[in-house]
Amino acid sequence: MEFKSKNPFLSNKSFAKADTIYDAEGNVLIDYNNTMTVNGAVNKSFILLLLLLTGAFTVWYMAVNGFNILPSTIGGAILAFISVLVASFKPATSRYLAPAYALFEGLFIGGLTLIIDAMYPGQGIAMKAVTATFVTFIVCFGLYRFRIVKVTEQFKSIVIAATLAIATYYLISWIMSFFGFMPIHSIQNNSLMSIGISVFVIIIAALNLFLDFDLIEKSAQQRLPKYMEWFGAMGLMVTLVWLYVEFLRLFAKLSSRD
């Protein structure tokens, strides 16, 4: 059984929808100056990272100056989600929505980091999460670059199925929380089972990096439109943010056991 994802950041669906340009005789016309490249996607990823850090530092500046960061944190999360949702169905808009997503996500990440740091002062949770995310990215990139890990169709199916299962679990847990049930994976729950779930989620998030690398490389080989560089970079940023948040949660649980 092969699992297919409707999320274009987890599959090639939206990349396949990219417009193909034809000349007057019906032949495919490729403008190599206006097509996606791996280097272009990498450059866009660095731009998005800088914008995300800008959003995070904005929230930290607000906190230092006594402003309430909760509205910007929640607002950033909502606007970032909307940006990803729209870009998922209309990849051409990613050239505008990807930078907006990075800024909004930065507001959310900055606020969430401050909140967790305040819950466990002196533990250096943020620095641990940043370091762990960076190391995971480098290791996964190295494994992909030297073809130690190959992204086959079976590999994609397994990772996508696990990711969708996690998303479903999170959605059900979120709904149950409205009725007073504390999810097993919540920060307040530092049981071994909760920690085990966090480790499992981190592994799946890391495996999604391989899908992102493969998506960017294969799409560049297909000479898709230039705006897909933003789309690919946005997908990679979504995975990195997910990975960072899960590391934050894991280190928070471990700190609460001390």
Q: Which two tokens stand for residue 50?
A: 């800088």
Inform me whether the pLDDT recorded for 6 exceeds 50. Answer: no
What pLDDT was estimated at residue 90? 94
Quick count: other Cβ atoms within 10 Å of Cβ 166?
18
* Each residue's pLDDT tens digit, 208-238: 999 999 999 999 999 899 999 999 999 999 9
Phi, psi of 131 (to 5 degrees): -65, -45
Q: What is the pTM of this model?
A: 0.86
Q: For the chain, give the mean pLDDT.
A: 87
What pLDDT was estimated at residue 17? 46
Cross-strand bridge partners of residue 225 = 35
Amino acid at 157: S
Lowest pLDDT segment from 28-32, 67-71, 147-151: 28-32
Percent of all residues in the chain with a pLDDT value above 70, rounded to a whole number? 84
Contact predicate 58/106, CB 8 Å? yes
Tell me the C-alpha distance between 143 and 141, whole Å: 5
Contact predicate 224/36, CB 8 Å? yes
Nearest to 68 by CA among 17, 127, 115: 115
What pLDDT was estimated at residue 198? 93
Amino acid at 37: T
Cross-strand bridge partners of residue 35 = 225
Contact predicate 210/87, CB 8 Å? no
* Each residue's pLDDT tens digit, 173-183: 878 777 767 66
The domain ranges of the chain are: 13-256
Contact predicate 110/59, CB 8 Å? yes
What pLDDT was estimated at residue 12? 44
What pLDDT was estimated at residue 24? 47
pLDDT band at 185 (very low <50, low <70, confident <90, very high): low
Q: What is the mean pLDDT of residues 42-70?
A: 96
What pLDDT was estimated at residue 238? 97
Q: Which two tokens stand for residue 28?
A: 């495919």
